[in-house]
């Protein structure tokens, strides 16, 4: 017998920001711990395939998924403690990320302002270790709470045990984000009381000036959040108007020797040296140099305003997305000998 929360042959078209037509054989919207326990037990009994769907902003859904899609909708956020250096805030996995960031700023807690307006859910943030404008979320996470759906057990892992790296975490390293094993139920954030602005990213200072902030030294967290939101709005299309999944490729990281050879051949190529000596390249710049910015392939294309963003101009399916991603990656590989890796995940 199916748990009350389960639906069959569910339409997922409205649950992914690329607006791809997709259906799931089984679907459950989970908004309580009891729901998670009941549906998780059913999944273990039946050994069905699982996929965890958060805000749907970082996925490429196939036309049909023959297993169980779990939509995380657990809500709640609260201050749970503080010490001399920080406040500790706990947010449930189904909290929409932009709303959560805005709430922390409204309470006077800085730290997450550079990550404002990123689509998605709190539960997805540590898995991807989302980052933008000089900040990664892993820097501000104290712990992550999750359920192992394969074992039916609950766990709490510290920031160190999450093994955060560029767009990476232990959850991705072990493949748990792809096989639907882990459901992040809550994240605890450590937000510093001695707040310091992160203003190193190009464009933030100019945007602050446009918003009437004359001196960077006087900018507060909410002003920076408004500047970041304005920058995102200029660069990235609104998924409600032009469906997309945000940045579609990771910025590739290459060995120093390879980067030096590229710099000699392409002096204008942006390069950012990493702590381990390797060099991060700008995927958007690489894509633009191969002529894909603003170019289409069938119903999909790379956005004219930002070459890193793949957009659905209408009627696209997952096969169209894969074809374009493959073509772009091929051309970048041929010209620069650099591999591009897709950022959104697929069930």
Tell me the per-residue pLDDT of 167-184, one tens digit each, with 9 for 90 and over. 899 999 888 877 889 999
Question: Of the candidates 11, 58, 91, which has an alpha carbon nearest to the alpha carbon of residue 178?
Answer: 58
Q: How many CA atoms lie within 13 A of 47 on its CB side?
A: 0
Question: Collapsing DSSP states into helix, strand and coil, what is residue 310?
Answer: strand
- State which residues form the domain around 54: 6-72
Q: Domain containing 58 — which CATH number?
A: 3.30.43.10
The larger pLDDT score, comparing residue 21 to residue 133, is at 21
pLDDT in tens, 250-308: 999 999 999 999 999 999 999 999 989 999 999 999 999 999 999 999 999 999 999 99
Asked if pLDDT for residue 83 goes beyond 80, the answer is yes
Is the distance from CB of 197 to CB of 164 less than 8 angstroms?
Answer: no
Residues 174 and 81 placed together within one structural domain of the fold: yes
- Whether residue 327 lies inside any domain: the answer is yes
Q: How far is CA 7 from the centre of its chain?
A: 27
Residues 64 and 131 placed together within one structural domain of the fold: no
Question: Of the candidates 298, 268, 284, 300, which has an alpha carbon nearest to the alpha carbon of residue 338?
Answer: 284
pLDDT of residue 214: 67
List residues bridging with 279 in a β-sheet. Answer: 254, 273
- Whether residue 93 lies inside any domain: the answer is yes
Residues 6+ positions from 217 with CB-CB distance below 8 Å? none
Residues 130 and 89 placed together within one structural domain of the fold: yes
- Whether residue 319 lies inside any domain: the answer is yes
pLDDT in tens, 198-238: 887 778 888 888 877 766 677 899 999 999 999 998 889 99
Is the distance from CB of 5 to CB of 35 less than 8 angstroms?
Answer: yes
Residues 59 and 144 placed together within one structural domain of the fold: no
- Whether residue 223 lies inside any domain: the answer is no
In this structure, the chain runs to a length of: 347
Residues 84 and 24 placed together within one structural domain of the fold: no
Q: Domain containing 108 — which CATH number?
A: 3.30.465.10
Residues 187 and 287 placed together within one structural domain of the fold: no
Q: Domain containing 281 — which CATH number?
A: 3.90.78.10
Q: What percent of the chain has a predicted confidence (pLDDT) above 70?
A: 99
Q: Which residue, of 49, 72, 95, is where some domain finishes? A: 72
Q: Which residue, of 53, 72, 91, is where some domain finishes? A: 72
Q: Strand order of the sheet with strand 86-92? A: 77-82, 86-92, 182-192, 141-148, 153-158
Asked if pLDDT for residue 249 goes beyond 80, the answer is yes
Looking at the chain, list the stretches that DSSP marks H as alpha helix, in order from N- to C-terminal side.
33-46, 97-106, 124-128, 170-173, 176-179, 204-210, 221-235, 256-265, 283-289, 318-336
Average pLDDT (64-90) is 96
Residues 59 and 93 placed together within one structural domain of the fold: no
* Angle ∠(131,105,133) on CA atoms, nearest 5: 25
Q: Lowest mean pLDDT of 33-37, 195-199, 223-227, name the range.
A: 195-199
Q: Which residue, of 72, 95, 113, is where some domain finishes? A: 72
Residues 106 and 49 placed together within one structural domain of the fold: no
The larger pLDDT score, comparing residue 311 to residue 176, is at 311
Residues 25 and 104 placed together within one structural domain of the fold: no
Distance between CA 265 and CA 199 in Å, rounded? 31
Number of domains in the chain: 3
Distance between CA 43 and CA 70 in Å, rounded? 10
Residues 81 and 188 placed together within one structural domain of the fold: yes
- Whether residue 341 lies inside any domain: the answer is no
Residues 83 and 68 placed together within one structural domain of the fold: no
- Whether residue 217 lies inside any domain: the answer is no
Question: Collapsing DSSP states into helix, strand and coil, what is residue 302?
Answer: strand
Question: Of the candidates 7, 36, 12, which has an alpha carbon nearest to the alpha carbon of residue 23?
Answer: 12
Residues 256 and 329 placed together within one structural domain of the fold: yes
Asked if pLDDT for residue 119 goes beyond 70, the answer is yes
Asked if pLDDT for residue 10 goes beyond 80, the answer is yes
- Whether residue 201 lies inside any domain: the answer is no
Residues carrying an active site annotation: 167, 247, 343
- Whether residue 284 lies inside any domain: the answer is yes
Distance between CA 69 and CA 52 in Å, rounded? 6
The DSSP 8-state label assigned to residue 125 in this structure reads H
Distance between CA 6 and CA 25 in Å, rounded? 10
């Amino acid at each position: 017998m199916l748990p009350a929360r389960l639906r069959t042959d569910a339409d997922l078209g409205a649950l992914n920001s690329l607006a791809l037509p997709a259906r799931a054989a089984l679907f459950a919207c989970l908004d309580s711990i009891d729901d998670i326990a009941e549906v998780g037990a059913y999944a273990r009994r039946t050994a069905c395939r699982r996929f965890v769907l958060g805000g749907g902003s970082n996925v490429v859904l196939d036309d049909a998924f023959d297993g169980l899609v779990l939509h995380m909708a657990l809500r709640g956020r609260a201050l749970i403690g503080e010490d001399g250096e920080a406040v500790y805030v706990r947010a449930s996995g189904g909290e929409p990320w932009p709303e959560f960031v805005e709430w922390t700023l409204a309470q006077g807690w800085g730290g997450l302002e550079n990550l404002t307006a990123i689509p998605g859910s709190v539960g997805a943030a540590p898995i991807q270790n989302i980052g933008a404008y000089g900040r990664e979320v892993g820097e501000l996470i104290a712990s992550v709470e999750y359920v192992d759906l394969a074992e039916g057990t609950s766990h709490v892992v510290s920031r160190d045990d999450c093994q955060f790296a560029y767009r990476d975490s232990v959850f991705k390293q072990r493949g748990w984000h792809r096989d639907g094993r882990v459901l992040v139920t809550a994240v605890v954030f450590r937000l510093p009381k001695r707040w310091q602005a992160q203003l190193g990213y190009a464009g933030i200072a100019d945007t602050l000036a446009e918003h009437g902030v004359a001196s960077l030294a006087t900018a507060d967290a909410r002003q920076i959040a408004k500047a970041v939101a304005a920058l995102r709005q200029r660069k990235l299309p609104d998924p409600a108007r032009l469906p997309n999944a945000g940045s579609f490729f990771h910025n590739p990281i290459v060995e120093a020797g390879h980067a030096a050879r590229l710099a000699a051949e392409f002096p204008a190529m942006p390069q950012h040296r990493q702590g381990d000596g390797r060099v991060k390249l700008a995927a958007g710049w690489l894509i633009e140099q191969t002529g894909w910015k603003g170019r289409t392939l069938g119903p999909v294309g790379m956005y004219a305003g930002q070459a890193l963003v793949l957009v659905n101009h209408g009627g696209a399916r997952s096969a169209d997305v894969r074809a374009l991603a493959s073509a772009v990656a091929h051309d970048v590989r041929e010209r620069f000998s650099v591999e591009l890796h897709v950022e959104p995940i697929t069930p």
